[in-house]
A and B are shown apart, each in its own frame.
Chain A
């Protein structure tokens, strides 16, 4: 038998009704360092999967109460467990039986009596594939919102959707150019990384969607791809939290202020391109929010009249009057002064 020195990682569920088979399988797998759990029929296996969350299932076909095929079908039908790798381990080796197992979603098929080395090699391979799949999914979720990633996995191609009410926030580090001249490249990247990493955490906490960073600017959207009736409240709270975070880091960098612009309206959102693609948004709402930031005030959050009318009942704002905005003409703009006492006392909406 192949004796690998480092302990193999992973929890394996053995679903088998014959105690002698369980003992031998458990001994082979445990010797490699795997954690083992066991179920003696399909119904019990479904329960053990929920409680023990195994990484791989070795499943017999012929079992009392619920056979392996039906158990496999139920596991694959569950959204939580559809990706769980299942290897059938059975004496039923007719081609039709093997094909049926694959059609139900099994990743492999090992005939009894089995060779321990072959079984271990297959287990290792499928655990590795599963680990890589999970890593790929994690990386994909770094660039795409989960519903969009799911859609692309099911049907690759262009995604473009119109959203009628989305909030868009741009935040820029005021005075970044002189700061970048003062700091060494490593220090500068370190600063951006710390600031934007903190913003990433805050965006997650507020249940909003980071769109991208553009140089020293950070862009966030609310109410997409899933609709959020309270997106403007979330966005205002996020903007204030980002401001507080920048203030907290300010002394360390000899002054750090954000200039922010917030607007709401319709956008088109989607994924385009074949390589290095990302989820992005387009439209006049985006351009206006960007202009609000560039025509804004350091350390302040600038909003449009449309946003002011929707938040004025719970947010204190200062009018700036009509400001000439490039490409838009004069706009009535406001600066957020803070939440009113009642709103400030309420906890933020959960992410």
Chain B
């Protein structure tokens, strides 16, 4: 997903749809709804920042 968002690739919307449960588990509380809104509106820069913010504390980002 980070690759798709970084490349401004609209396939990010399909990735979210396919892996919805994974992303829901990643984001706390209302953050998932905001992430979903941003991806759906193709606001990829904002969605990427939010995804990194959620993934980093969980050690999911490669160095």
Contacts and interface: CB of A to CB of B under 8 A. Distances in A.
Interface of A: 13-14, 19, 22-23, 26, 30, 35-40, 44, 47-48, 51-52
A37 B7 contact: yes
25 contacts: A13-B8, A14-B10, A19-B40, A19-B42, A22-B10, A23-B13, A26-B10, A26-B11, A35-B9, A36-B9, A37-B7, A37-B9, A37-B10, A38-B8, A38-B9, A38-B44, A39-B8, A40-B41, A40-B42, A40-B43, A47-B45, A48-B8, A51-B8, A52-B7, A52-B8
Interface in B1-49: 7-11, 13, 40-45
- With most chain A CB atoms within 10 A of its CB, the pick from B7, B13, B45 is B7
A38 B10 CA distance: 6
A36 B10 contact: yes
Chain A to chain B: the 5 pairs with minimum beta-carbon distance, closest first: A37-B8, A26-B10, A38-B10, A40-B42, A48-B8
Given A23-B13, A36-B10, 10 more contacts: A14-B10, A35-B9, A37-B7, A38-B10, A38-B44, A40-B41, A44-B45, A47-B45, A51-B8, A52-B8
A14 B8 CA distance: 10
| Consensus secondary structure, chain B interface | loop
B19 to A, nearest CB: 18
B2 to A, nearest CB: 14
A19 B41 contact: yes
Contacts of A30: 11
B6 to A, nearest CB: 8
- With most chain B CB atoms within 10 A of its CB, the pick from A19, A23, A36, A38 is A38
Nearest to B43: A40
A19 B9 CA distance: 13
Contacts of A40: 41-43
Nearest to A47: B45
B60 to A, nearest CB: 23
Nearest to B10: A26
Contacts of A39: 8, 42
A35 B10 CA distance: 10
A39 B42 CA distance: 7
Nearest to A14: B10
A78 B44 CA distance: 25
B10 A23 contact: yes
A40 to B, nearest CB: 5
A47 to B, nearest CB: 8
A48 B10 CA distance: 13
B4 to A, nearest CB: 10
B35 to A, nearest CB: 15
A346 B43 CA distance: 51
A39 B45 CA distance: 10
B39 to A, nearest CB: 10
A35 B43 CA distance: 19
A156 B10 CA distance: 44
Contacts of A22: 10, 42
A23 B16 CA distance: 14
A39 B46 CA distance: 12
A319 to B, nearest CB: 62
A4 B8 CA distance: 25
Nearest to A54: B8
B48 to A, nearest CB: 12
